[in-house]
Chains A and B, each alone.
Chain A
Amino acid sequence: MNDLIHGSRVEGEVLLDGKNIYDPNIDVVGLRQQVGLVFQRPNPFPKTVFDNVAYGPRLFGIKNKKVLEEIVENSLHQAALWEDVKDKLNQSGLALSGGQQQRLCIARAIAVEPSVILMDEPASALDPISTLKIEELMETLKERYTIVIVTHNMQQAARVSDFTAFLMINEEGAGNLVEYGPTEQIFTKPSHKITEEYVTGRFG
């Protein structure tokens, strides 16, 4: 979608399972199935809870009612939302609380069985308790899915992740990878001075 912006260009590669996702021949729809997206501000569709989760599977051609019901229930279970909404499947997804809406978005992403879930600051719009619930959910989900989180919340990164990449702006521009490693190591003995300065809050 970035190519809709005038003047945007891409250099280099982003490899998913060895394939460059910026290859012009890539199947974009298939890519979107493989990589689920959860955004910073919860954005359920203006549809029922059920239709939110069933949207993706329907798009991929699943019409059988029973199969859809199973997928929806399964996804909502995995997103730790089933108990909250099982009696409200026909209510609008927008009627849920912030934390519930975010979990609905996670269920929606899971419904098409991605291999990767990309989360952009998934809890920054949520209160502390909802945040911790989402984090607990990530701990469960990471057993089945590869989860990549973008966050400014270092404590969150330290709590939930197994590996951490630290990217920073410098003279060359934004998004330079300074250090990547196991989270335990990044937060106890980082290899680079800049990483140490940043995680200890001594930057700038």
Chain B
Amino acid sequence: MPRQTFDRELQNLLDEVLLLGSMVEQAMLNAIDAFKQRDLDASRRVYKNDEEINDKRFAIENKIIILFATQQPIAHDLRLLAAILEVITELERMGDYAKGIAKISLLIGDDSFPFPIREISHMGDLAVTMLHRALGAFINEDVSMAYRIPKDDDIVDELYNQIYRKSTEAMIANPQLVDHANFTMWIVHNIERMADRVTNICERTIFIATGELIELDYSDDEWLDEDIG
């Protein structure tokens, strides 16, 4: 069968994307864990390791440019390579979110005031699981899975809103907790954005399989109908 060399290159590329994905999953889990344990050394490690995520992203991108130039990909091959470019960008941004959480942990430092650790942990686990399933769907071109995963984002958003309410109440009750509350919100904002970006990966999965570019946004329209006045 012809183009075996090209097929091998594509397979290697997919392996690299999965590897990048697991680096990002690990970074987020490590960042949240380090925050929970107030382990500043672990936070520093997460912060520094982001460089490896960036390097791998650029290596994959570079490889794709070369494949575009030398292999004339069309049809499914073209959609796949174009989609990988988008996916690795999403993954790199998620890596930045993990790095952001590590940075906030370092800023919090020794602050001993309690944080909503259980909810934050739960959010983090959800977001990482969403990413893991999305990457599986991407590799297997599982379109129905790609449609289902973004619905879990509702749970993440709900947790985000809960934590937001609690933080606001805490700030009002005790203005000295403003910094503390802000740190909390930055952390959960990073996790919430990670879950949002998982949806983008699902959109690319659908694109590879069907050639259709669509927006998978389930929750946004609801608030438009609410009486804002």
Bound complex: CA A194 to CA B174 (Å): 70
Annotate B45-74 by CB proximity to A: 1 below 8 A, 0 otherwise.
Answer: 000000000000000000001100111100
Choice from A139, A158, A188 contacting B71 with Cβ under 8 Å:
A158
Chain B residues positioned under 8 Å from A165 (CB to CB): none
Chain A residues positioned under 8 Å from B4 (CB to CB): 136, 139
Annotate B1-38 by CB proximity to A: 1 below 8 A, 0 otherwise.
Answer: 11111100000000000000000000000000000000
Contact B66 A184 (CB under 8 A): yes
CB of A115 closer than 8 Å to a CB of B: no
Residues of chain A having any CB pair with chain B under 8 Å: 129, 132-133, 135-136, 139, 155, 158-159, 183-184, 187-188
Contact B2 A132 (CB under 8 A): yes
Chain B residues positioned under 8 Å from A155 (CB to CB): 72
Tell me the smallest distance from the CB of B73 to a CB of chain A, in Å: 11
Chain B residues positioned under 8 Å from A136 (CB to CB): 1-5
Chain B residues positioned under 8 Å from A188 (CB to CB): 65-66, 69
Measured as residues with beta carbon below 8 angstroms from the partner, the interface class of chain B is 10 to 19
Chain B residues positioned under 8 Å from A132 (CB to CB): 2-3
Tell me the smallest distance from the CB of B19 to a CB of chain A, in Å: 22
Tell me the smallest distance from the CB of A151 to a CB of chain B, in Å: 14
**Main SS of chain A's interface residues?**
helix
Closest residue of chain B to A155 (Cβ to Cβ) is: B72
Closest residue of chain B to A133 (Cβ to Cβ) is: B2
Chain B residues positioned under 8 Å from A139 (CB to CB): 4-5
Closest residue of chain A to B70 (Cβ to Cβ) is: A158
**Main SS of chain B's interface residues?**
helix
Chain A residues positioned under 8 Å from B66 (CB to CB): 184, 187-188
Bound complex: CA A16 to CA B70 (Å): 28
Bound complex: CA A78 to CA B148 (Å): 50
User: Contacts A184-B66, A188-B65, A188-B66 hold; do A159 and B71 have CB atoms under 8 A apart?
Assistant: yes
Contact A187 B3 (CB under 8 A): no
Closest residue of chain A to B68 (Cβ to Cβ) is: A188
Tell me the smallest distance from the CB of B77 to a CB of chain A, in Å: 13
Tell me the smallest distance from the CB of B1 to a CB of chain A, in Å: 8
Chain A residues positioned under 8 Å from B71 (CB to CB): 158-159
Choice from A129, A159, A183 contacting B72 with Cβ under 8 Å:
A159
| Pairs across A and B, CB under 8 Å, 17 listed | A133-B2, A135-B2, A136-B1, A136-B3, A136-B4, A136-B5, A158-B69, A159-B6, A159-B70, A184-B66, A184-B69, A184-B70, A187-B66, A187-B69, A187-B70, A188-B66, A188-B69
Bound complex: CA A135 to CA B71 (Å): 12
Chain B residues positioned under 8 Å from A183 (CB to CB): 70
Chain B residues positioned under 8 Å from A159 (CB to CB): 6, 70-72
Bound complex: CA A129 to CA B1 (Å): 10
Bound complex: CA A113 to CA B72 (Å): 33
Closest residue of chain B to A154 (Cβ to Cβ) is: B72
Chain A residues positioned under 8 Å from B72 (CB to CB): 155, 158-159
Complex A-B, nearest 7 residue pairs according to Cβ-Cβ distance, in ascending order: A132-B2, A187-B69, A158-B70, A188-B69, A184-B66, A136-B2, A139-B5
Bound complex: CA A183 to CA B1 (Å): 24
Contact A129 B2 (CB under 8 A): yes
Bound complex: CA A183 to CA B66 (Å): 9
Bound complex: CA A83 to CA B55 (Å): 46
Chain B residues positioned under 8 Å from A129 (CB to CB): 2
Tell me the smallest distance from the CB of A22 to a CB of chain B, in Å: 34
Bound complex: CA A187 to CA B68 (Å): 9
Task: Given A159-B71, A159-B72, A187-B70, output 16 extra A-B contacts at Cβ < 8 Å.
Answer: A129-B2, A132-B2, A132-B3, A135-B2, A136-B1, A136-B2, A136-B5, A139-B4, A139-B5, A158-B70, A158-B72, A159-B70, A184-B70, A187-B69, A188-B66, A188-B69
Chain B residues positioned under 8 Å from A135 (CB to CB): 2
Bound complex: CA A139 to CA B7 (Å): 13
Bound complex: CA A197 to CA B182 (Å): 55
Tell me the smallest distance from the CB of A65 to a CB of chain B, in Å: 35
